[in-house]
Chains A and B, each alone.
Chain A
């Protein structure tokens, strides 16, 4: 029982990270119908940049992270302006190919600079576990959960309360109508890329401080984001959160219960099995947009 609870808690922590990463992915898809295959690579790059600022430049960890987040917001604007805007109106497949190319380039750069090794994020939390009953909670895990929850809350507030956030949802709903009311669709695309990269880097830093940093390990999260968003429904922000948590919990339960029995690691397979099962029953995902039809 306690083992199950422990697995659930760990699952929620890692799941909240997936949710955060998935949020950025969904945002770009919602605004511009682009599947960003480079999402995981931006996540990894951001984490390494924060790591480099904290170790090589010896900045304190928290300012290093905040500086990285700011830089990546700007990088998001630049990527949209330089790489994606010339492709507006072209076939979606062309844009997807570009994002795959971007992914390779970023990966290559990271291998050039940091190589394939593992690094540890400088510690900024006491490494004393908090024990509640039989549950072992590390402060870093709790902080990760809190940071993810805070970001998700902040984003949902932004989409509900701010005029820019409401306008972003309007663009996702009907681009031409939004244009007719003076919404600058280009600006919306740019901002959604900025926010997407911020969410990716935030997720990456949380994972990086919980586990370790490696080019391969971090970019893989970009792949795990796919089952999370597809299960949730590609264009749903709450769906991304639920999907992320679900994938995180499933991963941990598999690792805890099934892997020891079979003697092989299935933890990275199970999310995709669940993905297939859910898509068979709900093709638009759990929370995907079902067109509102008045009869």
Chain B
């Protein structure tokens, strides 16, 4: 792996630069996404998610992280969006613009940003919705498995999900997705709106799910510090492009990443976010 490119210059999207030696489970090749056929949101995004790893996709608001996930899961079609160019190869099959139900059946499930649990269903009913595509009889065991990872959900299983706390709702959103038995879990901002303690708890569980069940995870986050602590490899997006990639160690030591995403100075001390913002703005417009 060569020295990471500097921020602001998009990398040539060559999927050959696969992280590590693990075989890729998902390869996104230079995709362009448009909404309503006119608004270009992703301008050639390429990334590789190796089997069994956690890959973090970082970036600020509006960078296109969620759109990337929706392009993979097929949920773009519900928002009048579509992949105009490029391909999304999952287990040897191009799933760009596929029907969301068929993507779920293939083993990819997205946990939407903002939890989006079914408020008027009980916790257990929420979990059952995750089993609609399944035809096997092992639903009971998988529910036990979810309760094993999230014991708090077990306590609340007969309650309406809308009355659960924010942390419990995030756990439910992840648990509900696990009921699908995914090969690849797409997590969109699991830390959103949660207290730091809960963020830690959730990320610890995410890491356990990856280690114990071998579930591959593509994690979108704004909380770069938390994400880089669990991930194996990371990509950074800006304005619809991947601008930086590397192993977690490489990213953590990159001066720009430190400055923008981790809020650290060159020497490693904490820096006020106010300064970072001003510096960012200057750097982007110059």
Contacts and interface: CB of A to CB of B under 8 A. Distances in A.
B29 interface: no
A170 B129 contact: yes
A178 B120 CA distance: 13
A181 B128 contact: no
A173 B119 contact: yes
A141 B157 CA distance: 41
B118 interface: yes
Interface string A149-189: 00000000000000110110110011111111111100000
B177 A181 contact: yes
Contacts of B120: 169, 173, 289, 292
A166 B121 contact: yes
Nearest to B106: A182
A232 to B, nearest CB: 16
Interface stretch (B2-10, B38-46, B48-56, B97-105): B97-105
A292 B162 CA distance: 6
Interface string A262-295: 0000000000000000000000000001001010
Max chain B Cβ within 10 angstroms of own Cβ: one of A164, A180, A182: A180
A181 B109 contact: yes
Interface string B149-185: 0000000000010110110000000001100100000
A287 to B, nearest CB: 12
A238 B132 CA distance: 25
B119 A182 contact: no
B128 A163 contact: yes
Interface residues of A, number: 22
Contacts of B78: 175-176, 179
B82 to A, nearest CB: 14
A110 B110 CA distance: 49
A181 B104 contact: yes
Given A169-B121, A289-B120, A292-B120, A182 B163 contact: no
A176 B116 CA distance: 9
Contact of B132 (A163, A289, A292): A163
Contacts of A175: 78
Contacts of A176: 75, 78, 112, 116
Question: Size band of the B side of the interface?
Answer: 35 or more
B256 interface: no
Contacts of B239: none
A113 B262 CA distance: 76
Contacts of A169: 118, 120-121, 125
Max chain B Cβ within 10 angstroms of own Cβ: one of A163, A173, A289: A173
A227 to B, nearest CB: 24
23 contacts: A163-B129, A166-B121, A166-B128, A169-B125, A170-B129, A173-B119, A173-B121, A176-B112, A176-B116, A177-B116, A178-B118, A180-B75, A180-B100, A180-B110, A180-B112, A181-B109, A181-B130, A181-B180, A182-B100, A182-B101, A182-B132, A183-B129, A294-B166
Closest 3 CB pairs of A and B: A182-B104, A292-B162, A182-B133
Given A169-B121, A170-B129, 16 more contacts: A166-B121, A166-B125, A173-B120, A174-B119, A177-B117, A179-B75, A179-B100, A179-B101, A180-B73, A180-B75, A180-B104, A181-B109, A181-B133, A182-B100, A182-B105, A292-B120
Interface of B: 73, 75, 78, 80, 100-101, 103-105, 109-112, 116-121, 125-126, 128-133, 160, 162-163, 165-166, 176-177, 180
